[in-house]
């Protein structure tokens, strides 16, 4: 019945690891690997630690190719975009940043990145009025993006009109579903973030794939890597039921973003009152503000048309308004 207990909690050491312990663990794993059994590992390695603790120490600190220190702007963007799309799924975010650990990214977000976003210059905040004043149209009942398209820098990015399912937005239940292509599972990401809540409450969806880009006018399929999701504030990125792209072509025009000024086509219902009410709503959700601000920097740092397109193509700068 069941398995043996994980460890004798009374006889395990807690607290910071000594260099001797690090060396023992490193040496043991170097020689024998983890053996797929973290619980038995500390005893075998001569460590008075819980297997969980060993695993954490290895994954977050001792493992080869771990990167510590400064994060690049690109890493910031990836973290922000993914956070906005999937929330605090640090392990998923970490998977997109080689050498970074989920713990590291989590700490970085909580201690630095969030603050960095909140201390953006005021001119950026003024721009927020523009976004908070948008109103949106709901996407079609089924909109999907392949998890592989977002989570892997894979060539599947180029044929997504017929390859469904990463994020399925269910307007009726106000939920996101993530489809795991490998295991063929649907995971409910109900209200993953305040951002997602806000977006959904505005009948919008924050997703990325070729379809979105096609709405932006980049329909040639040469916009490069899809290794970071693109937030589409106020836009509707939709595919047709059953992946029939052409069916939605007419509807698409309604939402198409004007490339000339990088504005999203706005709904006519936007009036002063609505602007105010939505602005105050956003005030209550720092995360939304934060992420939007970060993405705004993409716009401001690359403000000529050529650069924007170039960055799109590189997958470097995924958010223009």
Partner DNA sequence: AAGTTCAGCAACCGCATGATC
Partner DNA sequence: GGATCATGCGGTTGCTGAACT
Q: Tell me which of 56, 270, 275, 316 binds DNA, using CB under 7 A.
A: 56
| Rounded Cα–Cα distance for residues 167 and 85 (Å) | 9
Stretches 74-82, 105-113, 124-132, 147-155: which one binds DNA (CB under 7 A)? 105-113
The dihedral built from the CA positions of residue 125, 90, 85 and 95, taken in this order, carries a sign that is positive
Q: Which is nearer to DNA, 6 or 271 (CB)?
A: 6
98 is an interface residue for DNA by CB under 7 A: no
26 is an interface residue for DNA by CB under 7 A: no
Stretches 49-57, 136-144, 158-166, 218-226: which one binds DNA (CB under 7 A)? 49-57
88 is an interface residue for DNA by CB under 7 A: yes
* Least gap, CB of 109 to DNA (angstroms): 9
Characterize 38-64 residue by residue with b for buried, 16 or more Cβ atoms within 10 angstroms of its Cβ, and e for exposed. Answer: bbebbeebebebbbebbbbbbeebbee
| Binding residues for DNA restricted to 177-216, rule: CB under 7 A | 185
* Least gap, CB of 291 to DNA (angstroms): 15
19 is an interface residue for DNA by CB under 7 A: no
SS3 state of residue 205 = coil
Find, among 234, 188, 194, 230, the residue nearest to 209 by Cα.
Answer: 230
Give the full edge-to-edge strand order of the sheet including 167-170. Answer: 167-170, 175-180, 185-188
Which residues would be at the binding site for DNA (CB under 7 A)? 1-6, 13-17, 36-39, 50-53, 55-57, 60-61, 68, 88-92, 102-104, 106-108, 110-112, 115, 185
């Amino acid at each position: 019945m069941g398995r043996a207990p994980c460890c004798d909690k009374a006889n395990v050491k807690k607290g910071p690891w000594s260099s001797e312990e690090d060396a023992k663990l490193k040496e043991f794993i170097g020689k024998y690997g983890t053996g797929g059994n973290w619980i038995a590992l500390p005893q075998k390695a001569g460590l008075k630690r819980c297997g969980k603790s060993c695993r954490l120490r290895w994954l977050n600190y001792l493992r080869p190719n771990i990167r510590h220190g400064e994060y690049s702007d690109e890493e910031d963007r990836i973290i922000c975009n993914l956070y906005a799309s999937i929330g605090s799924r640090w392990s998923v975010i970490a998977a997109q940043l080689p050498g970074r650990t989920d713990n590291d990214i989590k700490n970085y977000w909580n201690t630095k990145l969030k603050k960095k976003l909140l201390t953006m210059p005021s001119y950026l905040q003024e721009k927020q009025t523009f976004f908070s004043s948008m109103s949106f149209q709901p996407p079609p009942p089924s909109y999907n993006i392949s998890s592989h398209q977002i989570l892997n820098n894979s060539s599947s990015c180029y044929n997504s009109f017929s390859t469904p399912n990463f994020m399925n937005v269910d307007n009726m239940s106000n939920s996101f579903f993530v489809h795991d292509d490998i295991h063929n599972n649907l995971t409910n990401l109900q209200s993953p973030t305040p951002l997602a809540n806000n977006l959904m409450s505005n009948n919008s969806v924050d997703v990325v794939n070729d379809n979105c880009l096609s709405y932006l006018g980049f329909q040639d399929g040469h916009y490069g890597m899809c290794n970071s999701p693109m937030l589409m504030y106020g836009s509707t990125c939709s595919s047709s039921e059953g992946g029939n792209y052409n069916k939605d072509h007419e509807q698409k025009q309604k939402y198409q973003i004007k490339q000339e000024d990088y504005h999203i086509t706005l709904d006519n219902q936007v009036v002063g009152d609505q602007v105010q009410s939505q602005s105050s709503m956003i005030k209550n959700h720092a995360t939304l503000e934060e992420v939007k601000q970060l993405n705004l920097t993409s716009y401001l740092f690359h403000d000529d048309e050529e650069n924007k397109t170039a960055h799109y193509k590189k997958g470097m700068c995924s958010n223009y308004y």
